[in-house]
Amino acid sequence: MNSRPDSNGLSAWGDTPRPRGAAVLADPLLNKGTAFTERERDLLGLRGLLPPRVFTLEEQLHRSLIAVRGKATSIEKYIYLTNLQNRNEILFYRLVMENIEEMVPLIYTPTVGEACLQYGSIYRRPRGMFLSLRDRGHIAEAFRHWAQPGVRLIVVTDGERILGLGDLGALGMGIPVGKLALYTACAGVHPGYTLPITLDVGTDNVELQAGPAYIGLKDKRARGAVYDEFIAEFVAAVQDVFPKALLQWEDFGNTNAFRLLNQYRQQLPSFNDDIQGTAAVALAGVIGALRLTKSTLARQKILFLGAGEAGTGIADLYVAAAQAEGLTEPEARARCWFVDSKGLVVKHRGDKLAVHKLPYAHDHAPITSLAEAVRVLKPTALIGVSGMPATFTQEVVETMAQLNARPIIFALSNPTSKAECTAAQVYPWSGGRAIFASGSPFAPVEFNGQSHVPGQGNNIYIFPGVGLGVLVSEAREVTDEMFLVTARTLAQLVQPEDLAVGRVYPPLTKVREVSLKIAVAVAAAAFDAGLAAVPRPTDLAADISARMFQPVYRNYA
């Protein structure tokens, strides 16, 4: 994965004519901008097309960092970085990787939420593919229009449930673009292998339909047979045109997310990051927290606020992990409780429960509020995946602290504006005893003379490594066992110095190291299960490490 791939995964150009002049500058994987040497400018026909001074990559990096920091708002920084990515990917990824803690919040959560809301007005040039219902019958043809035929990794959304922001339709393209940038920056997947896709099936967001800047279809969202046939054609086209591609389903609504995952996961290698990636990162955080509470998974009682993809995905993975510790499946499920928009999820509540909630609908009297549910059920861990801000109130947090010496409180909803509570709230309200993690980053909090560093329970620790492991093993299926192995691997990478400040995830500066470890674990699971389509290397870690993309300029002379 180090060199730019063509359809055979070979290095740039191969037997095709070498691009010259403006064509070189227009290709972000070939363009070095002002770093082209005098010799390269003559060789590639760039004489007169660039300013005369030749810069080193390091000098370009310095200039770009100054430019980013000179922007007044996060969305302005996002726009600058997007333009840089579209112009010079080597420089873009070098900038992100060397300033990972500063740049990730700008290219992904929380800024990507605002970027999606404004995507119609900040859209400059296409990145990825928009496939709409108007393309029915021509999706495979459209795929062949893509400049890079050797696609190995696709992130696709239909825009129905973008972060905690809801139905954004075609504006959700910011999510696949951002996710794939993280695959490269955090796990070394070559950007030439990646393809972001938005499936435009309409939107039920009436404000978007009426807005002058909306770039998608202004029809109501398609449902039923029309939707299903469109998805079926899309999947068949992926298999036909990009037969080695891994497909990541992203930000689909609850109505479709579970059934699409279950319908297609054995038809082509695919997974849903909102269900499985979130589950793995949350379970890893819980396992890390148990090193502080000196307890076990089998002894936990977890209360979830939000009973959608993320919550039930976490519960399902917890059940698998607790069974490995000796609980039966019914015993493990009985330790997971949910509060949704109508109150505690119980068997005889009166409304018709969605299928994914039924395994966690227990026999219990109705409870309408989260605060009452905490008092009655006495959970050891409270996990927010609701997209409802400020729902972990002072009363809720204080009750958790009364019930537990070290309450586990994860406010995982994204972006920051949707977090169930903030780090600045949870530590004082819990007397500094909460073990806290959040989906978006929060600054450290000083309380009672101690520094508390909140962990970021973000899927950035999970999906890049999972994808890399699947790609290098050419696994035919992405299994639930792979995500359980991933959660345990991530938890093991949390160091004593992290736990000492209350952080249950490694610092983001180590994310590339984390991704490599997870890729090795996932690939090993594929080989062990007989799912890999390639021979197993003698040294799996060395083989994967050698394939990881490094943002360095090619010498064209």
Closest CA to 152 of 254, 217, 246: 246
Helices (H) and strands (E) in the chain, counts: 24, 14
Which residues, in sequence order, are bridge partners of residue 195?
Answer: 154
Cα separation, 530 vs 538, whole angstroms: 16
- DSSP-based three-state secondary structure for 77: helix
Decide if 108 is catalytic.
Answer: yes
Strand arrangement, sheet containing 270-272: 129-132, 194-200, 153-157, 246-249, 270-272
Q: What is the DSSP string of 369-427?
A: -HHHHHHHH--SEEEE-S--TT-S-HHHHHHHHHH-SS-EEEE--SSGGG-SS-HHHHH
* Tokens at 426, concatenated: 């949870």
**Which one of the listed residues 93, 108, 214, 318 is annotated catalytic?**
108
Structure tokens belonging to residue 104 = 């990730």
CA-based torsion, 131, 200, 418, 381: positive or negative: negative
156 SS3 class: strand
Catalytic residue among 32, 179, 418, 517: 179
CA dist list (Å): 306 to 345, 352, 455: 10, 16, 20
- Residue 436 and residue 443: Cα distance in Å, rounded? 12
Please report the DSSP string for 287-317 in residue order.
HHHHHHHT--GGG--EEEE--SHHHHHHHHH
- CA-based nearest residue to 238, from 144, 170, 172: 144
**Which residue, 316, 288, 323, 281, is CA-closest to 302?**
316
What residues are labeled active site?
A: 108, 179
